[in-house]
Amino acid sequence: MSKLKKYFFFIPWITFCSLQIVFAQENPEDIALADDKIENNFYEGLKQRAIENYDKAIVAIEKCIDSDNTNPVFYHELGKNYLDLKQYPQAEEAFQKAVDLNPKERWYWNGLYDVYYQSKDYQKSIPVVIKLIEFDPNMKEDLISLYMYTNQRDKALELLKEMEKEMVLSKTMEFYKLKIQESNEYAKPEKNELEKAIEKNPKEEQNYIELMLLYSNSNQEEKAFEVAKKLAKEIPNSDWALVSLFKFYLLDNNGKEASDALLKVLKNDKVDMKIKQRMLNEFLLFVVKTNTFEPELMQAVDYVSNDTSINSPLEIGKFYFNKQLYEKAIVYLEKGLKKDPEDFNTIVLLIKCFENIQNFQSLAKLTEDYIDLFPTQANLYYYAGLSNNKLANYKKAKGYLDTGLEFLVEDIDLEIQFYIQLSVVFQNLGEKKKEEFYLLKAKELDKKRK
């Protein structure tokens, strides 16, 4: 089980004048001296812990507690040192004392959770995490993980359903939910329960979604499709109906219905972007497989272009590039480059695409445009020289190749290619000696490489 919560290294700010120290002495000077002693011991404890002298830190903090056993901060600090030493019973006792003294402080509860989690006492962790949820609702994921680890799947499923009404589940939570629903213990009773719930209230969308997942997870795609159609009939504007139907349309090779469903979902701001991206990827695979609906794919990419978490056109361009579908790759790589104009990796992919389809006009323009932005990238000069050679602009090619050599650093392969292109330049300019000179340099380097 993965622990989802973050560890917080938290040192509370102590106002020592509010420690409420009660001393027998009545002399203010004696009280001040006692205050100073506690403060010195406390900071000595912090100092020793910082340099990992946990035993010495404990001695210092215990002196603070001897002077004032009502301050939860001291017990919290004591617990942290025992925890660092993996002395779990002592750490538990200290953190529990801090919680008892001030149950409204989150970090004291957090200390208890650290003890139980590190000592793998997951059952004891559960009530602590339930308390921590009051401070941070995101701790629900930890609670579900603990329920799964202690085999309390009914409680985990109940909490998952509650969370699903409020948010899109993370991948881990989705995995837990599927794992629970796949087990025979839950599938049949829940299926009957959901069918009854749909009968009773046909306008409750969540019941359809749950039932479709159950059927899909048990490989009953036809039944899941029937539920999706029923959802679409009862709630025509349901985004989830479209999400579900989309998958079934793809399975049925119904590209027209699938693309219509996809575009409608992508237009809707209420559907999570992760779901949209997943649908887009599935549609991409369908388009590649069938070699159809390219315009619809392009339109879909435009809809998700505002997503800052992923450059969708670029990812699709890479996909086509790896499939060696260079002309299709170019369309999406260019869109991706507009979204992130300074992404040099995209430029390199575009260069390779233009080279592979021998579009030297576009290759020349691309490299020449980006040389100003990346003036020290030798490969840009090389491809500018290559493309201009192919376009019979030999003097222009020579200028780029000469300049590019100045920026070349320890790349023998590229250096050889530079010399070969310079030999082409001088061959076409009628300068035989220079042509032979650069060919010889290329051959000599090639021998060194071998």
CA distance 58 to 78: 6
- Determine if residue 291 is left, alpha or beta; phi over 0 gives left, psi from -120 to 50 gives alpha, anything else beta: left
- Write the CA distances from 408 to 205, 418, 434, integer angstroms: 62, 10, 20
Task: Indicate if the alpha-carbon torsion angle 383, 388, 392, 395 is positive or negative.
Answer: negative
Among 56, 54, 75, smallest CA distance to 64 is for 75
pLDDT for 188: 55
Give, as one character, the DSSP assignment of residue 3. Answer: -
pLDDT for 98: 93
Count CB-CB contacts under 10 A for residue 284.
Answer: 19
Give, as one character, the DSSP assignment of residue 323. Answer: T
The structure tokens 């233009």 sit at 354
Q: Which residues contact 395 (CB under 8 A, 6 or more apart)?
A: 425, 429
CA distance 369 to 362: 10
For the chain, give every domain's residue range.
8-119, 361-450
pLDDT for 150: 87
pLDDT for 229: 81
CA distance 125 to 112: 8
Q: Which residues contact 292 (CB under 8 A, 6 or more apart)?
A: 255
CA distance 396 to 176: 62
Q: Which amino acid is at 330?
A: I
Among 419, 424, 389, 377, smallest CA distance to 402 is for 419
pLDDT for 17: 34
pLDDT for 5: 36
pLDDT for 350: 96
Q: Is the CATH number 1.25.40.20 carried by domain 8-119?
A: no
CA distance 361 to 236: 50
C-beta separation of 419 from 441 below 8 A? yes
Q: Which residues contact 44 (CB under 8 A, 6 or more apart)?
A: 57, 60
CA 370 to chain centre: 31
C-beta separation of 74 from 46 below 8 A? no
Q: Which CATH class is domain 361-450?
A: mainly alpha
CA distance 130 to 107: 14
Give, as one character, the DSSP assignment of residue 24. Answer: S
Helices (H), 268-359: 273-290, 294-303, 312-322, 326-339, 344-356
Mean pLDDT by 10 residues, the chain (450 residues): 36 36 37 65 89 91 90 93 92 93 92 92 91 90 90 86 82 81 59 86 85 72 78 82 82 89 83 77 88 87 76 87 91 90 92 95 95 92 96 94 90 92 94 92 82
pTM (predicted TM-score): 0.51
* 361-450 has the same fold as 8-119: yes
Please tell me whether residue 310 adopts helix, strand or coil conformation.
coil
